[in-house]
Structure 1
Amino acid sequence: MSTSIPAFGHFFPKNCLCHKQLGQVGCPRPFYKEPSNCYYYQFWSWRETYCYTIKGVPDERQFSDPPDGPGDSRYQWKIGIYNTTAAQLDRDPFETQDSGPPMPYELPDRTVLLPIDKCPNRCYGRGWCVRPNDPPHETACKCLGFFKGKMCEEPLNEHCYQNCSGRGTCSGGWCKCDPGYWGLGCTRSKAYTADVWLPHPTKLKVYVYDIPEHIAFKKPWHDLPALLDTMYLAEVAFMDQLLGDWGVRTENPWEANLFVVSTYTIYYTGNIGFPAKHFSTVFNYVRTRFPFWNMTAGRNHVAIATNDRGCCDLYKLARQQPELQQPIKLVHFAQAGRFGRGGASGSDPAYEAAVREFQRLRPGAHSVLEDDEGAEGAVAGGGADLGIDRVRFRGIPAYSLDSLRMEREPCFRPEQDVAIPNYLERSWLQHIKAAYEWVAPPEGAAGPGRMRHKPLERKYLFHFHGFTKPDMAYSGGVRQGFFAMYSNITREDMAINKGNGAEWMLQSRFCMAPLGYGWGIRLTQAMHTGCVPVLVQDHVYTAFWDLLPYEKFSVRVTRHNLHRLFDLLEAITPEQLADLQQGLADYHMNFVWHPDVGGLAYNNTITSLHRRLLNLWTALFRSST
Structure 2
Amino acid sequence: MSFQLSQRWFHQIIILQMLVAWAQGSKKDLFEELWGLGKSASKQSGRRVLSHDLTMDEIFNYWQKMYGRWPSATFEQYLAEYRQRVDGAGRSWGTPKTDEELLDIYYFLRNRTQVPHAPGWTPERDKCGPVCHLYGTCNQELGICGCPRGRKGPDCATPVRTSCQEYCLYDDECHRIIREWCINECNGRGTCVGGVCHCYPGYFGADCSLSIDYDGGQGGRGPGATVLLAGLGYTDNPRGPRIYMYEFPPEMNLWGQLWVDRPLNVILWERFMSLGLREVDPAKADYFFIPGCARRCNKWDEKFQFIIEHYGQYWNRNHGRDHIMTHPGDWGRCERSWTDTFDSFVANVTMLQHWGITVDRSTETHHALFNSCYIPNQDILIPPMCGDMYWQYENNVWHPYRRHSPILKTTLASLAGSICGWNSAEEPPCRKRYYSLGVRAALWQLRDTPGFQIAKRVPNIGQSMAESEFCFAPTGAGYGKRNVISVTLGCMPVIISDHVTQPYEPFLNWNEFGVWIPESDVKDTEVILRGLTPQQKAEKMEKLYCAARHLSFTTVYGGLFEGDTGEFDAVATLVHILRTRKRHPGVPDHKLMEVDPEFADLMACKHHNSTTAATDIDETPARPPTPPLPLAGITSKVQTTIDDEAYPQRTVTTAHWIKDANGKEAGQRDSSGGDMVAQASPPPRQLCLFNGDVVLYADHEVPEPSDITIKRDMRPGQCMPRNGNRPSGFPPGGSIMCPPTGPITKCERNV
Higher mean Cα deviation, 496-505 or 309-318?
309-318
Query: Matched residues in 2 for 1:513 and 1:128: separation?
Result: 47
Equivalence for 1:81: none
Equivalence for 1:479: 440
Q: 1:605 aligns with which of 566, 574, 580?
A: 574
CA shift in 2, pair 1:316/1:562, >3 Å: farther
Higher mean Cα deviation, 306-315 or 425-434?
425-434
Equivalence for 1:172: 194
Equivalence for 1:216: 253
Confirm or deny that 1:420 pairs with 2:449: no
Q: CA deviation at 1:299?
A: 1.7
Higher relative contact order (CA 8 A, sep 6+): 2
Equivalence for 1:263: 292
| Contact 1:534–1:555 under 8 Å retained in 2 | yes
Letter in 2 for 1:245: L
Q: CA deviation at 1:126?
A: 5.1
Letter in 1 for 2:455: I
Q: 1:236 aligns with which of 241, 250, 266?
A: 266
- SS of 1:577's partner is helix
1:119-165 deviation per Cα after TM superposition (whole angstroms, max 9, x unaligned): 53562525999xxxxxxxxxxxxx9999x9x9998622221233222
| Contact 1:304–1:330 under 8 Å retained in 2 | yes
Q: 2:510 aligns with which of 550, 553, 563?
A: 550
Q: CA deviation at 1:551?
A: 3.5
**Correspondence list, 1:273-352, <5 A:** 278-290=299-311, 291-314=313-336, 321-338=343-360
1:179-209 deviation per Cα after TM superposition (whole angstroms, max 9, x unaligned): 4432132222357799xxxxx9984211011
Q: CA deviation at 1:309?
A: 0.4
Query: Matched residues in 1 for 2:413 and 2:197: separation?
Result: 48
| Contact 1:157–1:163 under 8 Å retained in 2 | yes
Letter in 1 for 2:183: Y
Letter in 2 for 1:578: A
- SS of 2:526's partner is helix
- SS of 1:259's partner is strand
1:87-128 deviation per Cα after TM superposition (whole angstroms, max 9, x unaligned): xxxxxxxxxxxxxxx9x9x9999xxxxxx9885356252599
CA shift in 2, pair 1:121/1:257, >3 Å: same
CA shift in 2, pair 1:119/1:563, >3 Å: farther
Higher mean Cα deviation, 494-503 or 456-465?
494-503
1:431-480 deviation per Cα after TM superposition (whole angstroms, max 9, x unaligned): 346410579xxxxxxxxxxx999963111111101221421112112122
Confirm or deny that 1:563 pairs with 2:585: no
- SS of 2:210's partner is coil
Q: CA deviation at 1:509?
A: 1.1
| Contact 2:414–2:472 under 8 Å retained in 1 | yes
Letter in 2 for 1:215: M
What percent identity do the matched residue pairs reach? 22
**Correspondence list, 1:127-166, <5 A:** 155-166=177-188
Query: Matched residues in 2 for 1:280 and 1:618: separation?
Result: 32
CA shift in 2, pair 1:323/1:521, >3 Å: same
Query: Matched residues in 2 for 1:607 and 1:151: separation?
Result: 35
Letter in 1 for 2:398: Y
Query: Matched residues in 1 for 2:246 and 2:4: separation?
Result: 30
Letter in 2 for 1:120: W
CA shift in 2, pair 1:313/1:307, >3 Å: closer
| Contact 2:179–2:192 under 8 Å retained in 1 | yes
CA shift in 2, pair 1:560/1:151, >3 Å: closer
> 5+ unaligned residues in a row in structure 1: which ranges?
1-29, 50-101, 110-115, 130-142, 195-199, 222-226, 269-276, 339-349, 355-398, 440-450
| Contact 1:243–1:249 under 8 Å retained in 2 | yes
Letter in 2 for 1:216: N
| Contact 2:4–2:336 under 8 Å retained in 1 | no
Taking structure 1 as the reference length, the TM-score comes to 0.58
Confirm or deny that 1:494 pairs with 2:461: no
Equivalence for 2:686: none
User: What is the Cα-based RMSD across aligned positions, in Å?
Assistant: 4.5
CA shift in 2, pair 1:482/1:324, >3 Å: same
Confirm or deny that 1:459 pairs with 2:441: no
Q: 1:123 aligns with which of 96, 101, 114?
A: 96
CA shift in 2, pair 1:127/1:601, >3 Å: farther
Equivalence for 1:520: 480
| Contact 1:453–1:582 under 8 Å retained in 2 | no
Q: CA deviation at 1:614?
A: 5.2
Query: Matched residues in 1 for 2:342 and 2:404: separation?
Result: 50
| Contact 2:446–2:454 under 8 Å retained in 1 | no
Confirm or deny that 1:532 pairs with 2:492: yes
CA shift in 2, pair 1:429/1:496, >3 Å: closer
Bigger proportion of residues as strand: 1
Letter in 2 for 1:422: P
Higher mean Cα deviation, 517-526 or 175-184?
175-184
Equivalence for 2:113: none
Confirm or deny that 1:578 pairs with 2:538: yes
Query: Matched residues in 1 for 2:325 and 2:454: separation?
Result: 39
| Contact 1:204–1:257 under 8 Å retained in 2 | yes
Q: CA deviation at 1:557?
A: 1.1
| Contact 1:38–1:44 under 8 Å retained in 2 | no
Query: Matched residues in 1 for 2:175 and 2:9: separation?
Result: 30
- SS of 2:302's partner is helix
Equivalence for 1:249: 278
Q: 1:205 aligns with which of 228, 232, 242?
A: 242
Equivalence for 1:342: none
Letter in 2 for 1:480: A
- SS of 1:189's partner is strand
Query: Matched residues in 2 for 1:452 and 1:550: separation?
Result: 28
Query: Matched residues in 2 for 1:528 and 1:619: separation?
Result: 28
| Contact 2:326–2:353 under 8 Å retained in 1 | yes
Q: CA deviation at 1:40?
A: 4.1
- SS of 2:464's partner is helix
CA shift in 2, pair 1:193/1:178, >3 Å: same
> 5+ unaligned residues in a row in structure 2: which ranges?
17-22, 32-88, 103-163, 214-220, 224-236, 422-430, 560-564, 590-641, 643-751
Query: Matched residues in 2 for 1:458 and 1:535: separation?
Result: 20
- SS of 1:463's partner is strand
Q: 1:510 aligns with which of 470, 485, 492?
A: 470
CA shift in 2, pair 1:233/1:42, >3 Å: same
CA shift in 2, pair 1:118/1:562, >3 Å: farther
CA shift in 2, pair 1:214/1:521, >3 Å: same
| Contact 2:194–2:255 under 8 Å retained in 1 | no
- SS of 1:334's partner is coil
Query: Matched residues in 2 for 1:573 and 1:156: separation?
Result: 55
Letter in 2 for 1:473: Y
CA shift in 2, pair 1:435/1:119, >3 Å: farther
